[in-house]
Each structure stands twice: as structure tokens, then as C-alpha cells.
Amino acid sequence: MFRLKLPTDPRWANIAEGNLEEILTDHAWCEQKAATNAITLITMLPEYPEIITELLAIAQEELEHFGMVHEIILKRGYTFGRPRKDDYVNDLAKFIVQGTRAEYIIDRLLFAAMIEARSCERFRVLTEYIKDDELREFYRELMISEANHYTTFIGFARQLGDPETVNARWEQWLEYEAGVIASYGKRETIHG
């Protein structure tokens, strides 16, 4: 579906499961950042009320996910840690074009779509390879949500720009992301 060029090595699930407290804290903060990203996009698109409505729903859903992960952390007696720096996301952000307002907005939407695509793919790996039944089911549900967010963001990019140009730019994003993700997958973080 996403056509990611480099799939996650299933052994990453073992790394993640080796420190569930860390992966859950990192995941919670990823959800908070995703909500913030949707709100940032809202501020960039005031002239598109139908897009704002969808982005608002995404922001609310991401905050609900934050709450769900936080609840699991508390239920398991883990300590909810401070926000984590997401090097993967920071590396992706370097690829956002700084051209015209329209080009920048479309690239911000593709940036969001890429993060959702990779998160969905990582959640799929967790559902297939971790032994924890509760988390396996939890990540299966979130995987579906992340796929919907990916579809929404890439759909908005195609709506706001020339679809062929957007598709060509998406191919560039896929190539760039493959180079970025090649150095990740060795830490107990969602994108690490």
C-alpha cells in the first residue's frame, strides 16, 4: 500500500519488546507530536474548511492515542518519561521543500503521510512479532488508524496540487526515506 522501499527488519520487534517501558513512552510522545503536526497544518490551511475539519479529527484521534498509550504505561506500573527526540522525523524534515507556499504545504502533507506510513508499517511488525498479546492487539488497531491518516494526508496533497506532480514528489519521498530509515531499526523507539 505505501510502497516503502526498505521494510523494517522483524528483529526490531525483539528490540522493542526488550524494553516495553521505553517503546511505550516513545510511542506516546510520537502520538503527541502527530497531534501537534495536524494542528500546525490547520494553521497553514485556513482557506480550506473541509480539510481543517479532517485535520481536527486527526489531531483529536492522535491525542486519544496518546491517552491510550499513557494508560497502558500507568496500568503496567511503568514510568512515563520525558519527550524523546525523534531523529528519524528530524531527518525527514530536512527533505521538505522551502519553495512557494503551495509547494511547502504539499510537502508538509507528504512529510506527514510518510511518517504515518512508516508508523503503520512498524505497528504491523509489532503485531506480527511481539509476544505480548495485549500490545499485539493494541498495535493492530492503531495500524489501521495510521493507514487512514496516511491516506488522508496524501489525498490532501493530491487535492491541493497537480496529482501527477504530487505523485512524482511522493516517489522522491519514498527514495529519500529509504536512505534515512536504513540507519534506523536498532533502538527501542517507534522510528529508531
Residue at 59 is within a domain: yes
Residue 188's pLDDT is what?
76
C-alpha cell, 131: 509476544
Residue at 82 is within a domain: yes
Residue 2's pLDDT is what?
67
Residue at 94 is within a domain: yes
Residue at 2 is within a domain: no
Residue at 134 is within a domain: yes
Residue at 30 is within a domain: yes
CA distances from 88 to 51, 76, 105, 162, 167 (A): 27, 28, 20, 28, 22
Residue at 191 is within a domain: no
CATH value at residue 98: 1.20.1260.10
Residues 64, 186: Cα–Cα separation, whole Å: 28
100 and 165 Cβ atoms separated by less than 8 Å? no
Residue 84's pLDDT is what?
82
Residue at 3 is within a domain: no
Report which DSSP code applies to 8. Answer: P
Residue 185's pLDDT is what?
75
Tell me: pLDDT of 35 over 70.
yes
Count of structural domains within the chain: 1
pLDDT tens-digit series, residues 123-148: 999 999 999 999 999 999 999 998 99
Q: Give me the domain span that covers residue 90.
A: 10-182
Report which DSSP code applies to 97. Answer: -
C-alpha cell, 40: 500546525
